[in-house]
Structure formats: C-alpha cells, structure tokens
C-alpha cells in the first residue's frame, strides 16, 4: 500500500463527469508527476484528493496513510498532513503572513500533539526558514499575497511548505508565474524535503527534469492513460 491510494474514483462537477475510474498509488517519498494536456483532469484530481467541496465524488475511495479520507473535509485533510499549493491563491487583506503562519502552525500542532504551539520554537523555525529561502523579514508583516508578484507568492508558498513539513504536498503548477531563479528554488526545495511525498503538475519539461520525478501518471479526458 502506498502513502496515497486512489481506487476506482469517479468525480463530477455540477452533474458533469470529469474523472472516470481513476486508480493510482503514490509511494512514500515519491516525486510523482501528474501529466496531461489542459483539461485532462489533473486539477480536478488534485481537488478531489484535497477535499475541494466544488467536486462530487460519485464513487471510489481515497486512502491516505492507511485511512479512508473520501468523506473528510478539506480542513481535516490538511491537518492530517496534506498540503496543497494551488495555482491561484487568494489575497487576504488584513491578515499578515506572520499571523497566517502562526495560526496555521498552531492548528497543526494541536491536531498532532493536543498541545499549544511553542511560540519560541515557532519563531526560531520561522527565522531559520525565512533565511534559508532568502525571504525579506518585512514580508512577514504584509497582508497575505496582497501586492506580491507571482514569483513572490510562490516563495511564500515555499515558506509555508517548509514550516508545515507535510506528509504529502500537492503542487499545482508551482512553476507558473515564476522566473528561472524561483523555479530553481522550488525544485531545490522539493528535492531537499525527503520526508515529504510530492505530487506535482507542470507543463514545463525543463522544470520537470530539474525535479527528476520518480513516477508519472498521465491523464487524458478524465482517465488515466496506460503507460
């Protein structure tokens, strides 16, 4: 059994079937590429795995870390260790990056340990991650994603990823809107986080080659193509 096992999954949106009989297994420690042309069902599959309520699971199962999460909501899946880096992230005026990270880490810590977040350790870990990713300190006091460029938003996503240390990270086109330097930083971070399993979508061969995927699933027309 893999870290993530998808069994006979069928998914629809507003009554329209988008995915049919999806069977996929992702091993622990994998860097798993979801490939396929636009409209093939990749983002829909990501939404189904992460619990996006817009999608309806008509049949099948999603097993994560040996637990059936088919009917769990997105918040519970996140707390269980599933991180999603979406293509289009919302702006949250009035909520600083620091507050966002603090509340996020507090929720994860309480879910995992039933204890409060050790604030001193959190600030130490945040400073270490910020310096490692070369993120300016003043970004922490700005509203989440407000006034940030596409590449800067990707770097904030990396900061959250490094702080959270998820069991499974699903990145939907993390290279989109990022220049060559940021793409290199994303790829380097993915390869360095060996305790995290990755599923990622990319249409850029150069970026994909830098990550060196360990396995590939190709979708077409809402179905998996046989390799």
Read off the pLDDT band of 80 (50, 70, 90).
very high
4-224 CATH fold: Rossmann fold (3.40.50)
The mean per-residue pLDDT over the stretch 182-197 comes to 95
Q: What does pLDDT average to over the chain?
A: 95
E strands, 76-193, in order: 82-85, 92-96, 143-144, 168-172
Structure tokens at 11: 């998914």
CA atoms of 109 and 104, how far apart (whole Å): 9
User: Residue 226: pLDDT above 80?
Assistant: no
Q: Kindly report the CA angle at 102 between 44 and 62, in degrees rounded to 5?
A: 25
Percent of the chain with pLDDT over 70: 100
Percent of the chain with pLDDT over 90: 93
Q: Are 198 and 33 in contact (CB under 8 A)?
A: no
User: Residue 163: pLDDT above 90?
Assistant: yes
> In this predicted structure, what is the pLDDT of residue 177?
84
The mean per-residue pLDDT over the stretch 155-183 comes to 94
CA atoms of 150 and 145, how far apart (whole Å): 9
> In this predicted structure, what is the pLDDT of residue 227?
58
- 181, exposed or middle or buried, with CB in 10 Å at 0-12, 13-18, 19+? exposed
CA atoms of 209 and 150, how far apart (whole Å): 22
The mean per-residue pLDDT over the stretch 171-175 comes to 93
Answering whether pTM is above 0.85, one says yes
Q: Are 46 and 36 in contact (CB under 8 A)?
A: no
Backbone angles phi, psi at 38, to 5 degrees: -60, 135
> In this predicted structure, what is the pLDDT of residue 2?
92
């Amino acid at each position: 059994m893999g870290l993530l096992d998808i069994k006979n999954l069928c998914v629809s949106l507003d009554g329209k079937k988008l995915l049919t009989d999806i069977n996929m297994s992702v091993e622990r420690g994998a860097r798993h590429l979801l490939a396929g042309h636009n409209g093939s069902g990749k983002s829909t599959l990501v939404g189904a795995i992460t619990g996006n309520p817009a999608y309806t699971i008509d049949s099948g199962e999603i097993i994560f870390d040996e637990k059936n999460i088919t009917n769990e909501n997105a918040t519970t899946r996140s707390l269980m260790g599933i991180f999603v880096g979406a293509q289009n992230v919302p702006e949250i005026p009035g909520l600083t990056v620091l507050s966002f990270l603090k509340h996020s880490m507090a929720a994860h810590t309480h879910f995992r340990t039933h204890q409060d977040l050790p604030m001193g350790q959190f600030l130490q870990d945040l400073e270490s991650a910020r310096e490692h990713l070369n993120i300016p300190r003043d970004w922490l006091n700005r509203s989440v994603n407000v006034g940030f460029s596409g590449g800067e938003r990707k770097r904030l996503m990396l900061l959250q990823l490094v702080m959270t240390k998820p069991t499974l990270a699903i990145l939907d086109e993390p290279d989109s809107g990022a220049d060559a330097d940021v793409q290199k930083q994303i790829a380097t971070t993915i390869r360095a986080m060996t305790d995290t399993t990755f599923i990622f979508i990319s249409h850029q061969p150069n970026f994909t080659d830098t990550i060196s995927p360990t396995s590939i699933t190709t979708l077409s027309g809402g179905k998996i193509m046989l390799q």
